[in-house]
Amino acid sequence: MGAEEGTPREAARVLVFDGSDRLLLLRGHDPALPERSWWFTPGGGLHEGETARQAASREAREETGFVLAPEDLVGPVWERTAVFDFMERPYVQHEEFFVARVGADSPREDVAWTAIEHETLEATAWLSVEEIVGAEIEVFPTMLGDALRTVLPWDGVLQHLGTEDA
């Protein structure tokens, strides 16, 4: 599928780090392809009238339970376009990535997964850069492990990760 095909969508993602520089990732699968699973960062589509920063904050709360104020997010640090099929529907998704740091005392709520997320999400895990690079399943974005070095620490420059067929 090319970048000109599929439903266009604006999205925001969050790189949620703990005090040991481990990244919180979600493990998902497509119900149409249950043998395939992958790790990915929390995030999702923007609601009408919502900024990417606001969406990143909301998505972090819904998918991870961490309550992150939009103004506390760093970035955007990266942007990319992801071209993918999900549940037999093609998407061309422009994404902005933000960074958040959390600790044991960070405010949390119960996750608020949608019905689709309950059907497609298998697990959450804190993974080190090395564990991400060596993961035995797919990781999205595919360059995530190496790219994390550009935000630990971040130099203030927005990185363009290009277009990725996922």
Residue 69: pLDDT band by 50, 70, 90 thresholds?
very high
Report the distance separating Cα 55 and Cα 77, nearest Å.
Answer: 15
- 105-156, pLDDT tens digit by residue? 998 999 988 898 988 999 999 999 999 999 999 999 999 999 999 999 999 9
As a whole number, mean pLDDT of residues 15-30 equals 96
Report the distance separating Cα 135 and Cα 157, nearest Å.
Answer: 27
Burial class of residue 126 in the structure, from the number of CB atoms within 10 Å of its CB (0-12 exposed, 13-18 middle, 19+ buried):
middle
Residues in contact with 142: Cβ distance below 8 Å, sequence separation at least 6, in sequence order: 164, 166
For domain 7-165, the question of CATH label 3.90.79.10 is answered with: yes
What percent of the chain has a predicted confidence (pLDDT) above 70? 98
Q: How high is the pLDDT of residue 1?
A: 47
Q: Are strands 138-140 and 33-40 parallel, antiparallel or unpaired?
A: parallel
pTM score of the predicted model: 0.92
Q: 86 forms bridges with which residues in the sheet? A: 89
Q: How high is the pLDDT of residue 4?
A: 60
As a whole number, mean pLDDT of residues 32-57 equals 94
Q: How high is the pLDDT of residue 32?
A: 81
Report the distance separating Cα 81 and Cα 160, nearest Å.
Answer: 9
Question: What rounded mean pLDDT belongs to the chain?
Answer: 93
User: Does residue 41 surpass a pLDDT of 90?
Assistant: yes
Residue 112 dihedral angles phi and psi, to the nearest 5°: -125, 65
Residues in contact with 53: Cβ distance below 8 Å, sequence separation at least 6, in sequence order: 12, 70, 71, 73, 76, 98
**Chain-centre distance for alpha carbon 143:** 13
How many CA within 13 A on the CB side of residue 142? 9
User: Does residue 80 surpass a pLDDT of 50?
Assistant: yes
